[in-house]
Structure formats: C-alpha cells, structure tokens
Amino acid sequence: MSLGKKQRAPQVSRLITYFFSYLFLVVFLLAAIGGFVYTKFFDTLTGIVEQSNITSLKQIRDQIDQRFNELRQMSLQISSNHKLMRYTFSEGGYEAKQGIQELKSYGSTHSYLLDIGLYFNGMEDSKVYAASGVYDLDTFFDKVYPFENLNHDQFEKLAAGLKEPYLLPVQSINLNGANKLDAAIYMFPLPGNGVKPTQVILYMISGAEMKRAIGGGIKEFEGEAFIIDKQDRIIVSASSGRDEGKDAARLLQWLPADRTASIVSSLNLPEGPHSSVQLASGFMPWSYYVVVPTGQFLTVVRQTQTIFYVIVASVLLLGIGLSLFLARHHYKPIKKLMDSVRKNHASEEHRQNNELDWLSEAFEHMNLENNDLRSHLKTKSAALKEKVMADLIKGNVRSQDELDELLGKAGMQLAYERFAVLLIRIDDYRNFEKTNTPIIQNVLKYSIMNVAEEISMEVGHGYGIDLTENRGIALLAGIKAQEETSCEEMLHEAAGKIRDFFERLFPFTVTIGISELFHHVLDTPVYYKQAVETSHRRFLEGENVVLHYQDAALEASSPYKFLDEAVSKLVKAIKLGDRELAGAVIAEEINEIRNSFLTPGAARGICQGMSIAVFKLAKEISRKEQDPYLDETLQAFAFETMEEFERIFIRYCMRFADEMSSKKESRNFELRDKIVDYVSLHYADVTLNSNKLADIFDVSPSYLSRFFKNQTGTTLSEYVEETRMNQAKEMLQAKSMSVKEIVERVGYTDQSHFIRKFKKREGVTPQQYKMLFPNARE
C-alpha cells in the first residue's frame, strides 16, 4: 500500500451519540415509570392521609356526640324520677334534700360535668336546684355561674319558651366570683302536658374537657380545631402552635358554604395554604372542623415525595454512569478498528468527522488502492480456479489434455463420472442492489460461492464462479455416487441445504436451477445453458425454490393460445372505470397461465402483452403518468416472478380504472335523470333490470348500480319496484281495470307475487286497497 499523509483522527461523535442514546432511553423510562408512580401512588397516598384525618376527627366527633347523647338519656331518666318532681322541691324539707342527693348521684358518674341543676317554670320562688346546692335564680347566673349574655332575666325568658335543647358556647367565667374556668351550659327542656316546658335541666359542662376532646384533632399539628353550630357560633375551639390563642371565628369566611358535608378542603388563608377537615355531627346540630397548614397535613406525603425525588435523582445519576459505561463499551471496538487502520494503513488524510463515515472512507480508499476487494479474499490459486471455471462455461477448453493441464495448475479435483451445473440466483435482485453497496454485494456473492462449494463437498466436489449477468453464482458439481438416481437425490438435498441456509441466516433468498446429469466436463457449456433455462422458471414457480431441468422438459409440448378476449375484457373494464372487474380479469388470466404448463418465455410474453395493451390504451387517451415507479417498472418489465407482476399490474390497472371512473362520473352528471326518465316511461317492461339499463347507457352493471345508489340513496331495483307500485295504486284508485290487468300493465308476470309485495308495502291486498276509494269511477 502506498504511504502518504497520516490520517486525521475524527472527533468522538459516535461516542457522544451512543452516550446520549442510552441517556435518552434512561430518561424516557425514568420519566414514564416515575410519572406513573408519582401520579398513581401519591394520589392514593394523599387519599389515605386525608381519610386518616377524617377517621381521627370521626373518633373525636363520636366521643363528644356520645357525651351529649348520655346527657339526653340522663334527662329522660331525670324526667321520670319521682324524687326529682316539682312537688318534691316545692314542699322543701327532707324531700328536697333527697332530690339534691339524687342530682349529685347523676353528676358523679360524668367527670366532664361541673354541676347539674333543675329549674321549674312557674314556681313562685324561682330557684335553681343544683347538685351543688339550692340557689336563687339571680345568685346562680350572676355570681355562681356568671355567663356572658345569660343573666337571670335572660335565662327566665329563654327557659319559658325553650322547645329544644340549647347549648351556650364555652366561655371563661369566674366561678363564685373567684375561680376562673372554662364552662358551657347545656339546657334540656322537659315539656309537660302542654307545649311550654315545665322544667329545664341545666348541665354545667367543663370547657376544659371539651377543649381537650376537640384538641385531639390537632395533637400532631400546629392548627385549630373547633365546633360550629347552624347559627355559625363557635361552640368550642382549641389551638396549638402559632395559631394558639387566635379567634377561630376569623376562619368562618374561608370555610365551605355547606356545613353539613364531610369533606377535605383547601383554604387559601392570609397566613398561607391550609387544609380543613369537615365532619357533620350525627347527633347534634353542628359540625366539627380541623384546620392545619397543608404542609403539616400532608407531612407523610411530603416526606415520601422527598424520598421519591432522591431515588429518582439517584437512578438518574446511576443511569448517566451506566450510559457512559455502555457508550464506552460499544465505542471501544470502533476505536480499536480506527487505531488499527491508522497504524497499519496510513494513507492520505480523510476529511470525515464521524467515525463510521471515516472508516467507510478509509475502507473505500483501501479498496481503491488494492483495486478490488476480491484480491484480498482470494489466493492466487482461487483466481486460477475462477479462470478455469470461466473457460469451461464459455467453452474455451477444447480438449481433455488442455483441461487436465488447467485442472492440475489450479489444484481442482473433477475426477468423477457424473456432473451437474447449478445456477444460484439471488431473489429480488433490485432490492439486493438497493440495500447493499457494491463492496457488500461482492462480499455476499463470495459468501454464496463459499457456502455452495462447502455444501457440495457432501456429494463430491464443487467449484463456483460469480456470474454478474445472471445475478448469481454458477456451481459445477462433481458427484461421487455410482447410481444416477442416488446422484439426483444427493444433488437435490445439497441444493435444498444451500437454499435453506440463506433463507435462515441471510437477509435474502436464492432460487436454484439444476441441469441434467452429464458425464464429460467438456460438456459444461451445454448444461450451463440448461441451468440458466431452468432458473428462468422462477417467473412461474416463485422465489426461494429448487428447480430441475427434468421437470421443465414437458412444458415445451404444451401449447397455449394468447386470449385476446381477456385483453379485451381488461381494456373494457378500465374504460368503464370498474376497478374490481379489472382486478378480477387479471387474476383470472394469471391463474389460467399457471394452469396451462407454459414455458417461462411464453408466460412472460403473455404478461408483457397485457401490459402493452394497457399502455396502448393509456397512450390513446393521453393519460398522464401518476406513479413513476409503477410506470417505469411495467415498461421495463424486469419482473422476477409472475406473482410480482400480478401484484404491480393489478395495482396499476386499478388506479387507471379509478381515474377513468372519476372522469366518467364527472361527465355523467345527467345520467341519473336519464335513468329516472327511462324507468318512468318503461316501468311496464318485464325485462327492465340493471343489466338492460347498463347496455342502454353504455356502462357496466356494477358501475350503474353504484352510481344510482350514490345519487338517489336507493338501489335501482328498489326504485323500479317503487315506480311500479305507485302506478298500480293509481290504477287501483281509478277502478277501471281488474287486478290481473293492472299486474300486466305495471310490468309484473306473476299475480300472486305482485299481491304479496303489495300487501307487504301497503298492509292490505290490492282488492282491499281498491275498496278504500268508493267514489272513484268504475
């Protein structure tokens, strides 16, 4: 190899391409899986957290509701306790003391009660009889339990008209003017025989206990918990953290308007986003609320999200590292090959920056320097063998002595009694040339030759040669079997193995034509022609087959007359714009060719004749080229199989027919009216049908039916029948003819058939229909 400038190393663009390809795959998978997990998992987790907070508030609600339910049960017991009746306390003395003791027994069982009292409406002394003692009304409300907005006068008015339990919200009071505590008063009216209550039970409830109970909803948060009644009064509230001491009433404007729903809401408070849990009481006329900062409310979710982001970032970093590792791993062979090229084949500088393009240019340059790739693949002996094979096939070897001399120099072994020539042709050669560079084509052909020679060793010896003009490889095989039948079987088996090998392992298939057996190597040119003729049967048999000359010998004696009628039908179908008929004519003709035992040449000639006839029609009507590929392929007629011809020819003719149909429909915009007028004048013609109308208007029946249905929305036969029925009804109304005469006049031949159709359409028989018009003239 000539020495020149040292090759300039390209940039590592392939390494970067590999890296970003793997990185894209990692990012794509991470985004897809992470997005799915994030959406599904965190939505579910958020729902679980919300449900957990609702469940926690439910427990608090049930606890408080249970206490008030106990107070209700206690009130019912008090109302039926004879020791706590009005007369007991009105008489005073021992009975009144017993009543006080009884009240104490009720209060002792409930730690959240500060006191229990009874007030009787209408009693002269207006006293409150409590577990802690007997008090005048003003003393009880102004000194012992001095609630704001509830003095003794206000209480008297409230108690006189109280119809249902009433709770005064928790507030801070000075018990007996000294001890300061939180308390609420719950009034439970007990009606007598009338509407007004005869007595009111007063429950002094510990505000601290209620705050402790409702505060359980925020024990893990910095927020507020409270109870709101239907009048939007804060019954009790508890707060913690930064919200401790704040007035819960400020939150009312931000809460959902529906106070009875059980929901989790988001609140945009001035101090930041908050979440609220709302739960309606199942016993009392109020609702429970917990309002906390959203960040605390969804702490578990936020923590899990943080872990998720850390995992995603870790996986991404791992993916970047893995991408770099895989990129380097795949780039390593390319780099090694480039280093080898630079080291062993220094030549002029190449200008490519991409490694593969650089290598390709380097290989092309090496190929040019060495003149041909086969000079690297073949030894001197192989080149001599190729020359011997070429001379044998062309008939340039004249004598046995000359042959022996050539075989000796080439080291070839052809000392066999029987020989055969195999022509191995590459299927779909146009695609083979399109998808492979000339260098790769030579390599693949060389592979075919090597495989064929190696497999031929199983039957004897074989020597191949690349035949460009026949798009394949010729193999001269010497067969070691003694009997001719055994030779043919071994030869067929070897050919099958060659075919199967390329079908299984290569991106193309081969068709093999096998000559008859012969005894003298000098006869190779004759039997090579046989193999060529045999391989031409691929046009009839299809690709990827093994063909024997013996099987084709009978075809020459089977004459076939070209059917001008088929060509005429095809041209007519195209002119009529009937794509289905055109396809059917071609398929029928191809099928007849297959069943007629034709030679490949005859079959090819018939197919070419059909395509010529269609091209002639296209030229006559000045058809413009619509698909350059179809036009060029058909005109070149370079088809390897009849199946390929059929597929492309049908496609071409159907497109041609569609164009004709489009033109025909645009010209025949008056055709519908002509058909309608004709039917209106000739409906009485019993032979009137789509075939007759098609002949009259010079179109195909299928086109006529399709055209009429598209134009009118009904089929032609339905329209003819409707016209006849309408005419029959007019004649029946006139009553001038019998049913039999009318049947004949409107184009029916069978009276019974007409009567059945008429009754199906009108619901009555023709005779019954006739009687519906009594005033018509006879």
Which long-range CB contacts under 8 A does 667-675 form with residues at least 24 apart?
Answer: 668/699, 668/707, 671/697, 671/699, 671/707, 672/707, 672/708, 672/711, 672/712, 675/704, 675/708, 675/716
Give pLDDT tens digits for 194-219.
556 778 999 999 988 888 888 887 77
What whole-number distance in Å separates Cα of residue 169 and Cα of residue 739? 98
Query: Do 525 and 411 fall into the same domain?
Result: yes
Q: Is residue 83 part of a domain?
A: no
CATH of the domain at 676: 1.10.10.60
Q: What is the mean pLDDT of residues 588-615?
A: 84
pLDDT of residue 553: 46
Q: What is the mean pLDDT of residues 174-189?
A: 86
Q: Is residue 65 part of a domain?
A: no
Q: Is the pLDDT of residue 598 over 60?
A: yes
Give pLDDT tens digits for 441-482.
888 888 888 999 899 888 888 898 887 666 789 999 988 866
Query: Do 606 and 487 fall into the same domain?
Result: no
- Domain of residue 465: give its range: 374-556
Give pLDDT tens digits for 253-301.
888 877 777 678 888 888 888 888 888 888 888 898 888 888 776 666 6
Burial 351-362 (b: 16+ CB within 10 A, else e): ebeebeebbebb
What whole-number distance in Å separates Cα of residue 621 and Cα of residue 618? 5
pLDDT of residue 678: 92
Q: Is the pLDDT of residue 3 over 50?
A: no
Q: Is the pLDDT of residue 500 over 90?
A: yes
Q: What is the mean pLDDT of residues 342-347?
A: 60
Query: Do 396 and 501 fall into the same domain?
Result: yes
Please, which residues bridge with residue 518 across strands? Answer: 419
| pTM for the predicted model, two decimal places | 0.42
Query: Do 568 and 544 fall into the same domain?
Result: no
Q: Is the pLDDT of residue 249 over 50?
A: yes
Last residue of some domain: 255, 270, 297? Answer: 297
Give pLDDT tens digits for 503-529.
998 888 999 999 999 988 889 999 999
Query: Do 238 and 288 fall into the same domain?
Result: yes
Q: Is residue 253 part of a domain?
A: yes
Mean pLDDT of the chain: 81
> Of 623, 607, 627, which is closest to residue 615 (Cα–Cα)?
623
Q: Is the pLDDT of residue 60 over 90?
A: no
Give pLDDT tens digits for 704-714.
888 888 777 68
Q: Is residue 570 part of a domain?
A: yes
What whole-number distance in Å separates Cα of residue 591 and Cα of residue 595? 6
Query: Do 404 and 499 fall into the same domain?
Result: yes
- Count of the separate structural domains present in the chain: 4
CATH of the domain at 281: 3.30.450.20
Last residue of some domain: 277, 297, 317? Answer: 297
Query: Do 255 and 391 fall into the same domain?
Result: no
**Angle, nearest 10°, between helix axes 299-344 and 13-79?**
170
Query: Do 677 and 655 fall into the same domain?
Result: no
Last residue of some domain: 252, 278, 297? Answer: 297
pLDDT of residue 123: 78
How confident is residue 555, by pLDDT bands cut at 50, 70 and 90? very low
What whole-number distance in Å separates Cα of residue 600 and Cα of residue 163? 112
Q: Is residue 117 part of a domain?
A: no
Give pLDDT tens digits for 68-114.
898 898 888 888 888 888 877 776 777 778 888 888 888 777 888 98
Query: Do 609 and 678 fall into the same domain?
Result: no
Contact 220, 281 (CB under 8 A): no
Q: Is the pLDDT of residue 170 over 70?
A: yes
Q: Is the pLDDT of residue 352 over 60?
A: no
pLDDT of residue 626: 61
Angle 529-534-540 from CA coordinates, rounded to 5°: 145
Query: Do 510 and 627 fall into the same domain?
Result: no
Q: Is residue 659 part of a domain?
A: yes
Q: Is the pLDDT of residue 19 over 70?
A: yes
Query: Do 418 and 507 fall into the same domain?
Result: yes
Query: Do 738 and 645 fall into the same domain?
Result: no
Q: Is residue 255 part of a domain?
A: yes
Residue 11 CA, chain-centre distance (Å), reads 41
Helices (H) and strands (E) in the chain, counts: 30, 16
Q: Is residue 687 part of a domain?
A: yes
CATH of the domain at 526: 3.30.70.270
685 against 664, higher pLDDT: 685
